[in-house]
């Protein structure tokens, strides 16, 4: 397919698997004159790519918070916190702390990339008040909301973000699938990581979402996801960008989402 090229695996082989002329049920409503979207699948590794005429760059700075979370962020935060173990974030925070408590010293420096309205860094800070947490997020509503918490918040896209700080831990929760060029970002953030630092990536799971009867009507395949990773393509991008996967797991979250998460370490050699 001439307009799709991405090194998801050693032998990328893309086919057009679905054309959309209207959004699937439950997809957020994005302002676009004539909805047009093409979904491609690599038949070698199970990676998917969405191509649409929606300008997400603009949306992520201004409207994404409203579209995804509504106006009342405080209420949304309290609601998710009150769900406890029935929320996805509850388990995310705990699996990360469990991993880092084994592998890291007591006080650590965290960079959370693409924090949304801050549910992850806010919950993490509550349990680990000594940890220093920096969050970067492009949406101004989200940024203003996170300012009320003890978190160092920067308004930026990761693509434009610079820092001289080095971090023990960098998290990308449901972020990598939104990036047009995920490899470039993974290479970039490895420069922000301390020598023995850990990266945590969480993405929608194409393998299991594809097997589900709702298939392309599921949110894993929605238009805002440029890339929908299979276990194979996620492991491959980690390897190609200079990391070694310590753990890779496919899970079904309390919210019903199929998700893959991985903890990565920098390989000793630089690519
Ligand atoms: Zn592939």
Q: Per-residue confidence at 190, pLDDT binned at 50, 70, 90?
A: very high
Q: 51 C-alpha vs ligand 1 centroid, how far in Å?
A: 16
What is the count of structural domains for the chain?
1
- pLDDT in the model for residue 70: 79
User: Which residues are bridge partners to 16 per DSSP?
Assistant: 40
What the block records as the tokens of 50 is: 């969405």
Q: 41 C-alpha vs ligand 1 centroid, how far in Å?
A: 8
Q: Per-residue confidence at 98, pLDDT binned at 50, 70, 90?
A: very high
Q: Per-residue confidence at 268, pLDDT binned at 50, 70, 90?
A: low
Q: 209 C-alpha vs ligand 1 centroid, how far in Å?
A: 17
**Greater model confidence, 269 or 251:** 251
Which percentage of the chain shows pLDDT scores above 70? 97
Q: Per-residue confidence at 71, pLDDT binned at 50, 70, 90?
A: confident
Q: 212 C-alpha vs ligand 1 centroid, how far in Å?
A: 20
Which percentage of the chain shows pLDDT scores above 90? 84
How does the average pLDDT of the chain come out, rounded? 93
Residue 45 resides in a domain: no
- pLDDT in the model for residue 1: 43
Three-state SS at 144: helix
Q: 96 C-alpha vs ligand 1 centroid, how far in Å?
A: 29
Q: 3 C-alpha vs ligand 1 centroid, how far in Å?
A: 15
**Residue ranges making up the domain that contains 245:** 64-266
Q: 10 C-alpha vs ligand 1 centroid, how far in Å?
A: 7
- pLDDT in the model for residue 5: 81
Residue 29 resides in a domain: no
Instruction: Kindly tell me if the per-residue pLDDT of 104 is higher than 70.
Output: no
- pLDDT in the model for residue 58: 84
Q: Per-residue confidence at 11, pLDDT binned at 50, 70, 90?
A: very high
Instruction: Kindly tell me if the per-residue pLDDT of 222 is higher than 90.
Output: yes
Q: 270 C-alpha vs ligand 1 centroid, how far in Å?
A: 24
**Greater model confidence, 22 or 269:** 22
Q: 182 C-alpha vs ligand 1 centroid, how far in Å?
A: 14
Q: 55 C-alpha vs ligand 1 centroid, how far in Å?
A: 25
Q: 206 C-alpha vs ligand 1 centroid, how far in Å?
A: 12
d(CA 39, CA 154): 33
- pLDDT in the model for residue 271: 45
d(CA 163, CA 227): 27
**Greater model confidence, 255 or 102:** 255
For residue 178, give the nearest of 122, 221, 224 by alpha carbon.
224
Per-residue DSSP letters for 52-93? ES--HHHHHHHTHHHHHH-S-HHHHHHHHHHHGGGSHHHHHH
Q: Per-residue confidence at 269, pLDDT binned at 50, 70, 90?
A: low
Q: 121 C-alpha vs ligand 1 centroid, how far in Å?
A: 33
CATH code where residue 183 lies: 3.40.50.150
For residue 92, give the nearest of 225, 210, 262 by alpha carbon.
262
pLDDT tens digits for 130-170?
A: 999 999 999 999 999 999 999 999 999 999 999 999 999 99
Kindly report the backbone phi and psi dihedral angles of residue 88, in degrees, each rounded to the nearest multiple of 5, phi listed first: -65, -40
Q: 140 C-alpha vs ligand 1 centroid, how far in Å?
A: 35
Q: 14 C-alpha vs ligand 1 centroid, how far in Å?
A: 8
Instruction: Kindly tell me if the per-residue pLDDT of 2 is higher than 70.
Output: no
d(CA 247, CA 47): 20
Residue matched to tokens 């097997």: 211
Radius of gyration of the chain (CA): 18
Q: What is the mean pLDDT of residues 16-36?
A: 93
Residue 139 resides in a domain: yes
Residue 37 resides in a domain: no
Q: 190 C-alpha vs ligand 1 centroid, how far in Å?
A: 23
pLDDT tens digits for 195-221?
A: 999 999 999 999 999 999 999 999 999
E strand intervals along the chain: 14-20, 37-42, 48-52, 109-113, 132-137, 152-155, 167-173, 193-204, 227-228, 243-252, 258-266
Three-state SS at 186: helix
Residue 16 resides in a domain: no
CA 246, distance to chain mean position in Å, is: 18
Q: What is the mean pLDDT of residues 5-27?
A: 94
Residue 239 resides in a domain: yes
d(CA 24, CA 50): 13
Q: In terms of C-beta distances under 8 Å and separation of at least 24 residues, what long-range contacts does 263-269 make, across chains too?
A: 263/99, 263/198, 263/199, 263/200, 264/198, 264/199, 264/200, 264/201, 264/238, 265/196, 265/197, 265/198, 265/199, 266/190, 266/193, 266/195, 266/197, 266/242, 267/242, 267/243, 269/242
pLDDT tens digits for 234-257?
A: 999 999 999 999 999 999 999 999
């Amino acid at each position: 397919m001439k307009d799709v090229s991405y090194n998801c695996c050693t032998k990328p082989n893309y086919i057009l698997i679905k054309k959309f002329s209207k959004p699937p049920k439950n997809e957020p409503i994005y302002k676009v004159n004539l909805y047009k979207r093409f979904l491609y699948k690599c038949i070698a590794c199970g990676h998917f790519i969405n191509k649409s005429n929606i300008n997400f760059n603009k949306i992520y700075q201004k409207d994404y918070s409203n579209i995804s979370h509504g106006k009342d962020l405080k209420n949304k935060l309290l609601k998710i916190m009150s769900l406890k173990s029935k929320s996805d974030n509850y388990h995310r925070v705990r699996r990360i702390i469990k991993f880092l408590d084994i592998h890291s010293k007591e006080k650590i420096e965290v960079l959370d990339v693409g924090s949304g309205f801050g549910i992850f860094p806010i919950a993490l800070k509550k349990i680990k008040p000594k940890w220093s947490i920096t969050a970067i997020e492009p949406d101004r509503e989200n940024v203003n909301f996170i300012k009320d918490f003890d978190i160092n918040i920067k308004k930026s896209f990761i693509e434009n973000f610079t820092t001289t700080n080095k971090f023990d831990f960098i998290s990308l929760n449901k972020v990598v699938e939104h990036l047009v060029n995920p490899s470039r970002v993974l290479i970039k953030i490895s420069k922000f990581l301390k020598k023995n630092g850990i990266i945590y990536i969480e993405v929608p799971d194409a393998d299991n979402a594809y097997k589900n009867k709702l298939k392309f009507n599921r949110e894993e395949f929605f238009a805002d996801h440029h890339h929908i990773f299979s276990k194979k393509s996620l492991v491959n991008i980690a390897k190609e960008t200079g990391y070694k996967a310590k753990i890779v797991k496919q899970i079904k979250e309390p919210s019903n989402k199929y998700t893959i998460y991985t903890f990565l370490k920098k390989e000793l050699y630089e690519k």
